[in-house]
Amino acid sequence: MSERGGPLIRFWGQLWRWRLRFGLGLALGLVTLLAALGLLALSGWFISAAALAGLSAAAAAQFDIFRPGALIRLSAILRTAGRYGERLASHDAVLRLLSSLRSQVYRRLLPRLPSPRLSSGELLERVVADVDTLDELPLRLLAPVLWALVVLLTVLGLLYWQSATLMLRALPWLLLGAVALPLLLALLASHLGAQQRRHAGERRDLLIESLAGMISLHLHGVWERRRQLLDAADQRVLDAQFRQSLATAVGQALLAGLLGLAVWSMLTGGVSQVKAGPFLTMAVLAVLGLQEALAPLPAAFQAAAQGRAALQRVNELGAEPPVAAFPPQGPQPSRTPELEVRGLSFRYPGRTHGLAGVDFRLPYGRWLGLQGESGSGKTTLARLLARLLQPQQGAILLDGRPIEAYDEPTLRRTLHYVEQQPYLFNASVADNLRLARPEADEAAFWEALAAVQLDAVVRALPQGLETLIGEYGAGLSGGQARRLVLARAVLARAPITILDEPFEGLDGPTAEAVMAGLRETLDGHTLILISHRPVGAQYLDAVLRLEARAD
Amino acid sequence: MTAAPHPSPEAWLKQEATAASLWSRLSTGAGALAAVATIVLFALLARCIADWVGGRMPPVATLWYVVPVLVLIRSVFLALKDWAGAKAGLAVRRRVRGRLLERLAQLGPLRAGIGNDGQLSTTVLEQVDALDAYYARYLPQTRLAAIVPLLIAAAVAPRSWLAAVIFLVTAPLIPLFMVLVGRGAAAASERQAVALGVRGGRFLDLLRGAPTLRLLGRAETGERWITHASEEYRKRTMGVLRLAFLSSAVLELFSSIAIAMVALYLGLSLLDWFHWGHYGEDMWLEDALFILMLAPEFYMPLRQLGAEYHSRAQAIGAAQAIMRVEAVPGQWRPAVASVRWPQPVGGIRLEFDAVTLRYPDGRIGIEAVSFVLNPGERVALVGESGAGKSSLLNLVLGFAAPNEGRILANGLNLTTLERASWWRVLAWMGQRPEWFRGSLRENLTLGAEGYDDTALATVLRQAGLGGLLASLPDGLDTVLGEGGRGLSGGQLQRLALARALLRDAPLWLLDEPTAQLDADTSAALRAELARASQGRSVLLATHDRAHLEWVDRVLVLEQGRLVEQGAPQSLLARADSRLCRLFRELEDGA
């Protein structure tokens, strides 16, 4: 929980976890490539040998056509089945990898949330997209490189086995094409990729700022000039992308050329070719067939650069410190905990005002109202109590012990904080409620919904409790969403409940009815109510007025 | 002015292809020539190999000089094909992006109806970029997949008609294959895209709601949900893929079978066991080799097309996003046949004469609104969000035009005015501060020339930024907004005020200028606005009761209609006025 710094996810560790499944995909891919190569090379050897045998009727009659024929058929079958199996195995492995990466990202990010930096919607969207990009690394970098290497070595071995001269004549060209060229392209790709990402970032910033300021730009008659700036920024990105795709294209053309030259070099060798006989055909076709295994290499490193950049961005989030440190195991508070706050101060960096020297003691079962101007620190106090912030001075005591002593599950069980901006998940009403008490049954749901005047609304939904809500499902109005979150508080029945502006978006009578429902269900438990409206004042045992202080 | 909405994204993609048809054809041509070079090269290699295997010396000149030259030529054509393809992608993207920016500029503030600026930027940048592969590779490849196999069959036929027939029979239904491959892959990628959206959405949902889960003590529930959603997605995807990958397996199968059959046929012919399918008595090794070497090349373009199929699905997705922006018509009037606003201008008298604005989707912007804004008068527009305040300001700005009624500025009809000349008399301040990377000076003048430093310093002082100017190391030329030296929201709004003062514009349009500021900053800015706007005509859209202290008149809007107007004090004094009721509702949040 308290890890600080370091990378957010262990990508290679997770990859290793799925090694058997990836291994199966790799093996099948290798079988496919070798079968394709073997099919062609064997066929070449077969017809050359047949041609030689065909010169004399006796030799032709003795020619064994069945063994090569069977091998050729086997290659054809292996190639087809291998391709299909490889596709399935490697996609299955990648999907499993992404699944475990997502869990890991979530697990590691959770202690760091909510943080002002990480909580921006755009950043989280990017994290989601970046994690999905990580499949590039195994699929488009590791597998092709490994395959290329094994297939290349196999072909070189085959050449060496029959004729070292042939192997040596092909070797320089093959090394140029399979080693030097990809390495060169890898260097170029990381340089061009970084350049392109930089330009793309600038282009995006410029566009967003131009859209935001569009009216002023129009009124000042300078929109056209802006357009030119935008076009220039776009052109820089397009140029960089063009250079990248050109590098890949030239790389692929060079690879094809180098394989051609390897064949040329083998064929111009002299009399040793005559000795090689039918094997020469096999060698030439094997070298030409390398194309299939080597062709993904030029693009592989471009994909690798993207995947690595995504991995780096995700891992940079690990630098964000967790919002609060919890001990792994803490004491248990009593069932009737008392809350005490002593000299509590907190000021957000860069602000002139904040919470300063707050003191109060809240025996169990009391209801406390927190009031004050906006900016006086009501929400800050609530967040300090919920340990979403660390106090700069003072202490919060729960049953006489500093609140920092309790472990997180215990604290969350003891203290239920309902934030001002409720979040509902894209899940059913029941699932959203169940979060408060997983073991609750349907009757408990309806009781909690009735307490917050929401039972009729949910009954009227197309699928009742099972209706999906949130972004994708039937929407609830702002006031209904808020009440659903209050229903969670009712379900949880925590010893201490903190409600932050629970009546926003509710009209007067509804707010009073909700408050009465809360009283009915939560009476006897401690409650802290932050509200600028006078709703429910009759239930409060005490009111604390906060004042913004510049300390 | 605006093109009719396109029927389908596929049609849209085809239509855009005309922008790059030259490059695209060049790419196809280069690809076909590379295939021709391959055919010739393989013919020569087959000859040389056959000679060596047969114990003869191959033609030295051919082997030594012609082969490497052909290898080189083939590589040049291959590179040319991709180069021209990349050019095609560039041409289309530049065109589409230019058009989108043009459209957004026409829509002005109305663009908010399509999406927020982040989403729009994604459409303009990433979505347009996602078109690239379709034009750069997929389109030329569709043509090559038809041309190259025919070229190869034509080259093989003179040596063995049976081999050509085997090729054409194993891939006789090339178009059918393409449809098969296409359908399978398209259906798969569509279902996958939907699943991807849901799954990506799930992960995003849980990350966004992570603080809530944490507060509820249900961290492990979130993780279980993520695992569950990913597993569901994996199972569904694998189900789809088992089918989708069949199409590529079928291609492999036919390609393998053809090679095996051709090899067998060639071998038997060479052994003299089989005398059919070629011309003359005997099959020669040279011919046999040539045919065998070309066999994989025959299927290559089809396999490449299959590999590029996802670019099509990607491009269709991008086209849909782009078409959404293009489907919203701008209301920009052409500059021709327009009246220029007379210079110089004094005060402005703005008259709304029974103005109605309806949006293309049928929503009412404002309905039959009439009022007069006199020179030097300051008027607040008050109403709930959606009541028509922004529509009214957009009409004055000229981003929308009345469906009925007229807007007159000093007697001139706004819709006939040349917009640039009208804009010169307006000053604007929105709720979100505007900032352009660069120096303080550039942000003040936005690039206009002819202001001296004294004038700039004066307006900054008047807007309450004198202290800031004094604190900056390079004064007006300090580059701000980078490295955390940005200004606060209040300072940025003051900067907008300074811009308005600098232009000396007689009509100010203010759209919730203090909505995003905290109470203290907001009060201070209100005071500056009250002082600085004296003598100008002001239209101020606001929710905030405090602004009513400095305006001369309030217009209350409800659902697009002007329901009440009068001096703020007298309306606030009557508890049953619409204004009082509105504020009560706004504050109760009902």
Q: Please report, for the domain that includes residue A74, its CATH number.
A: 1.20.1560.10
The answer to whether residue B283 is domain-embedded is: yes
Q: What is the mean pLDDT of chain B?
A: 84
Has residue B495 got a pLDDT over 50? yes
Is residue A359 located within the same domain as residue A264?
A: no
SS3 state of residue B410: coil
What strand order describes the sheet that includes A526-530? A415-418, A496-500, A526-530, A367-372, A542-546
Nearest to B136 by CA among B30, B12, B27: B27
CB proximity list for B98: less than 8 A, separation 6 or greater? A231
The answer to whether residue B331 is domain-embedded is: no
Neighbours of B52 (CB within 10 A): 27
SS3 state of residue A199: helix
Nearest to B257 by CA among B169, B151, B146: B169
Has residue A427 got a pLDDT over 50? yes
**What would the mean pLDDT of A413-424 be, rounded to a whole number?**
87
Cβ–Cβ of A47/B285 closer than 8 Å? Answer: yes
Residue A34, burial from CB neighbour count under 10 angstroms (0-12, 13-18, 19+): buried
When mean pLDDT is compared over A229-233, A373-377, B188-192, the highest value belongs to A229-233
- Residue B590, chain A, CB below 8 Å: the answer is yes
Least confident range from A247-256, A290-299, B21-30, B135-144: namely A290-299
Q: How many domains does chain A have?
A: 2
pLDDT band at A37 (very low <50, low <70, confident <90, very high): very high
pLDDT at B185: 60
pLDDT band at A23 (very low <50, low <70, confident <90, very high): very high
**What would the mean pLDDT of A379-405 be, rounded to a whole number?**
91
| CA distance linking residue A177 with residue A190, whole number of Å | 19
**What would the mean pLDDT of B91-108 be, rounded to a whole number?**
93
Is residue B258 located within the same domain as residue B314?
A: yes
Is residue B320 located within the same domain as residue B355?
A: no
Single-letter amino acid, residue B194: V
Q: To the nearest whole percent, how much of chain A has pLDDT over 90?
A: 47
pLDDT at B86: 96
The answer to whether residue A293 is domain-embedded is: yes
Has residue A479 got a pLDDT over 60? yes
**What would the mean pLDDT of B99-128 be, rounded to a whole number?**
86
Is residue A147 located within the same domain as residue A188?
A: yes
The answer to whether residue A3 is domain-embedded is: no
**What would the mean pLDDT of B412-416 be, rounded to a whole number?**
86
pLDDT at A532: 75
Is residue B181 located within the same domain as residue B48?
A: yes
The answer to whether residue A433 is domain-embedded is: yes
The answer to whether residue A1 is domain-embedded is: no
Q: Please report, for the domain that includes residue B542, its CATH number.
A: 3.40.50.300
Is residue B359 located within the same domain as residue B300?
A: no
The answer to whether residue A324 is domain-embedded is: no
pLDDT band at A488 (very low <50, low <70, confident <90, very high): very high
On whether the CB atoms of residues B502 and B444 are closer than 8 A, the answer is yes
pLDDT band at A116 (very low <50, low <70, confident <90, very high): low
On whether the CB atoms of residues A53 and A171 are closer than 8 A, the answer is no
Has residue A63 got a pLDDT over 90? no
Is residue A388 located within the same domain as residue A270?
A: no
Is residue B190 located within the same domain as residue B264?
A: yes
Give chain A positions within 8 Å (CB) of B124. 207
Angle at A416 between CA A413 and CA A422, to 5 degrees: 135
Is residue B309 located within the same domain as residue B426?
A: no
Is residue A394 located within the same domain as residue A270?
A: no
Is residue B299 located within the same domain as residue B360?
A: no
| CA distance linking residue A174 with residue A139, whole number of Å | 24
Q: Which residue has the higher pLDDT, A205 or B77?
A: B77
pLDDT band at B367 (very low <50, low <70, confident <90, very high): very high
pLDDT at A505: 67
C-alpha distances out from residue B35 to B87, B151, B153, B578, Å:
21, 8, 12, 79
Give chain A positions within 8 Å (CB) of B435. 209, 212-213
Is residue A256 located within the same domain as residue A309?
A: yes
pLDDT at A298: 82
Has residue A474 got a pLDDT over 60? no
Q: Tell me how far the alpha carbon of residue B58 is from its chain's centroid.
A: 59
Across the interface, of A53, A219, A252, the residue whose CB is closest to B423 is: A219
CA distance to partner chain B, nearest, from residue A416 (Å): 7
Across the interface, of B53, B225, B436, the residue whose CB is closest to A277 is: B53
Is residue A244 located within the same domain as residue A357?
A: no
Q: What is the pLDDT of residues A184-226, one digit of tens each?
A: 988 888 888 888 888 988 898 889 889 988 999 999 888 999 9
- Residue A229, chain B, CB below 8 Å: the answer is no
- Residue B227, chain A, CB below 8 Å: the answer is yes
- Residue B420, chain A, CB below 8 Å: the answer is yes
**What would the mean pLDDT of B329-345 be, rounded to a whole number?**
64
Has residue A24 got a pLDDT over 90? yes
pLDDT at B175: 57
Count CA atoms closer than 13 A to B574's CA, side-chain side.
11
pLDDT at B440: 86
Hey, what are B7's tokens? 């029927």
Across the interface, of A105, A280, A427, the residue whose CB is closest to B49 is: A280
pLDDT band at B589 (very low <50, low <70, confident <90, very high): very low
Is residue A231 located within the same domain as residue A347?
A: no
Cβ–Cβ of A219/B237 closer than 8 Å? Answer: no
Give chain B positions within 8 Å (CB) of A241. 129, 132
Confidence (pTM): 0.80
Domain that includes residue B320, residue range = 9-326
Is residue A237 located within the same domain as residue A380?
A: no
pLDDT band at B561 (very low <50, low <70, confident <90, very high): very high
Q: What is the pLDDT of residues B453-489, one digit of tens each?
A: 899 999 999 888 888 888 777 888 888 764 334 677 7
Is residue A217 located within the same domain as residue A353?
A: no
Nearest to A192 by CA among A252, A234, A138, A245: A245
Helices (H) and strands (E) in chain A, counts: 21, 9
Give chain B positions within 8 Å (CB) of A48. 49, 53, 285, 289
Least confident range from A7-16, A329-338, B175-184, B357-366: namely B175-184
Is residue B144 located within the same domain as residue B185?
A: yes
Q: Please count the residue pairs, one from chain A and one from chain B, whose beta carbons lie less than 8 angstroms apart.
A: 374
Across the interface, of B238, B424, B447, the residue whose CB is closest to A225 is: B447
C-alpha distances out from residue A488 to A327, A427, B364, B478, Å:
26, 15, 39, 52
The answer to whether residue A5 is domain-embedded is: no
The answer to whether residue B479 is domain-embedded is: no
pLDDT at B335: 47
Q: How many domains does chain B have?
A: 2
Interface subset of A 302-341, CB within 8 angstroms of B:
none
Cβ–Cβ of B268/A211 closer than 8 Å? Answer: no
Cβ–Cβ of A98/B221 closer than 8 Å? Answer: no
Angle at A404 between CA A398 and CA A410, to 5 degrees: 70
CA distance to partner chain B, nearest, from residue A393 (Å): 23
Is residue B322 located within the same domain as residue B371?
A: no
Has residue B508 got a pLDDT over 90? yes
CA distance to partner chain B, nearest, from residue A103 (Å): 6
Q: Please report, for the domain that includes residue B92, its CATH number.
A: 1.20.1560.10
- Residue A127, chain B, CB below 8 Å: the answer is yes
C-alpha distances out from residue B275 to A70, A483, B294, Å:
22, 87, 22
Has residue B256 got a pLDDT over 90? no
pLDDT band at B71 (very low <50, low <70, confident <90, very high): very high
The answer to whether residue B447 is domain-embedded is: no
Cβ–Cβ of A39/B273 closer than 8 Å? Answer: no
Domain that includes residue A543, residue range = 339-550
Is residue B360 located within the same domain as residue B236?
A: no
Q: Considering only alpha carbons, which residue of chain B is nearest residue A76?
A: B256
Give chain B positions within 8 Å (CB) of A514. none
Give chain B positions within 8 Å (CB) of A535. none
Cis peptide before A114 (omega within 30 of 0): yes
**What would the mean pLDDT of A158-169 be, rounded to a whole number?**
88
ipTM of the complex: 0.86
Chosen from A48, A134, A482 to mutate, greatest number of chain B CBs within 10 A: A48
Question: How, if at all, do strands A542-546 and B350-358 pair?
Answer: unpaired
Is residue A280 located within the same domain as residue A189?
A: yes
* Domain endpoint, select from A290, A319, A348: A319
| CA distance linking residue B414 with residue B352, whole number of Å | 10
Is residue A365 located within the same domain as residue A268?
A: no
pLDDT band at B172 (very low <50, low <70, confident <90, very high): low
Q: Please report, for the domain that includes residue A472, its CATH number.
A: 3.40.50.300
Hey, what are A19's tokens? 């090694």
Is residue B506 located within the same domain as residue B366?
A: yes
The answer to whether residue B340 is domain-embedded is: no
The answer to whether residue B470 is domain-embedded is: no
| CA distance linking residue A14 with residue A142, whole number of Å | 15
Cβ–Cβ of A245/B94 closer than 8 Å? Answer: no
- Residue B476, chain A, CB below 8 Å: the answer is no
Is residue A17 located within the same domain as residue A115?
A: yes
The answer to whether residue B219 is domain-embedded is: yes
Least confident range from A98-102, A534-538, B73-77: namely A534-538
Least confident range from A449-463, B12-26, B42-56, B162-176: namely B162-176
Is residue B516 located within the same domain as residue B420?
A: yes
- Residue A132, chain B, CB below 8 Å: the answer is yes
On whether the CB atoms of residues A510 and A457 are closer than 8 A, the answer is no
Q: Tell me how far the alpha carbon of residue A108 is from its chain's centroid.
A: 12
- Residue A70, chain B, CB below 8 Å: the answer is no
The answer to whether residue A2 is domain-embedded is: no
Single-letter amino acid, residue A371: Q
